[in-house]
Amino acid sequence: MFTAGAGEHVLGGRSEHHIPSPGTKFCQVGRIRRVQFEGVVNIKMLCKMPYKDQLVHELNLKKNFADKKEVKMRIICIIGSARSNGSTAAIVDKIIEGMRESNVEVSRYCLGDMNVNFCLGCKKCYEYSGRCIQNDDMDTIMSDLLKSDIVVIASPSYWGDITGQLKVFFDRSTPYCDTNENRIAIQKGKKGISVAIRAGQSDRENIHIIESIEHYYGHLGITPIASLSIKGVNTIDDLYSKEDEINRAYELGKNIINLV
Ligand SMILES: Cc1cc2nc3c(=O)[nH]c(=O)nc-3n(C[C@H](O)[C@H](O)[C@H](O)COP(=O)(O)O)c2cc1C
């Protein structure tokens, strides 16, 4: 989680003598706080401000930095199911409900609703920029994932494994994979949560699914911090009858802040 604090660098101001004008905006870029000058066309204009005004602005600037305003934790939830109203989505929504007790910003994608094409196997993403030659919803999801602090990936069991939709998503993540020399960098420190749900009564298949998701996290430099295995759910009514499982999902979301 980011905290914007006194020790952070200021970009755009070159030195403390370049004091921002009234209405200056701050934005966080990784751990770097970037200052955007509003109403000041260039650095020369800024330096022409009377020294007294510069001092006032400098004090305001320092106060802002000392406030250590908490920046919201960002969480992305990727539902690997074909159905955005099924049991997998419902259990993820319960986790999200728990998360909402904290200062978080959550985005939710169900792969069944998204247009993510098969990997073409062309390996163009291994060349130069590390980009995929296809333009589809993968760009939307990945640009969100890059901004997130926590990644939640959930899959129902299909034939004892992750769904085809999730496998395609993994294949298409090759531009970001640590085996790709030209990969697009992913900021370190992201945490991952894995969720598996199945109709059968044992955890065995779910463990395999969780391992697959954690394998993906490993290649993206995401640290797995928690997992949830839900069994005996063939229909959504099966899930609703499992009060303990629903509570576990809610508690996982609620305690997310303590896990990172
Ligand atoms: C194509 C297909 C294959 C499935 N294969 C398995 C399986 O191998 N093992 C199992 O326990 N459940 C299996 N199921 C059941 C689903 O995992 C279960 O119904 C799950 O709750 C569905 O999630 P959803 O509501 O998000 O679609 C399968 C379901 C489908 C549609």
Q: How far does the centroid of ligand 1 lie from the alpha carbon of residue 113, in Å?
A: 17
d(CA 126, CA 133): 11
Residue among 111, 158, 212 to mutate when testing ligand 1 (max atoms within 8 A of CB)? 158
Q: Which residues of 84-111 are buried (b: 16+ CB within 10 A; e: fewer)?
A: bebbbbbbbbbbbebbeebebebbebbb
Q: Give residue-wise pLDDT tens across range 88-147.
A: 999 999 999 999 989 899 999 999 999 999 999 999 999 978 899 999 999 999 999 999
Give the position, in ligand 1's atom list, of the atom nearest the Cα of 86. Answer: 25
Q: Give residue-wise pLDDT tens across range 55-101.
A: 555 555 445 444 545 668 999 999 999 999 999 999 999 999 999 98
Full set of structural domains in the chain with CATH:
10-66 (no CATH), 73-259 (3.40.50.360)
Output the six-digit token pair for 258: 């303590």
Cα dihedral 18, 23, 24, 25, rounded to 10, equals 180
Beta bridge partners of 61: none
> Is the Cα dihedral 198, 203, 208, 211 positive or negative?
positive
The answer, yes or no, to whether any atom of ligand 1 lies below 6 A from the CB of 198, is: yes
The answer, yes or no, to whether any atom of ligand 1 lies below 6 A from the CB of 87, is: yes
In angstroms, what CA-CA distances link 231 with 73, 99, 235, 242? 30, 23, 11, 10
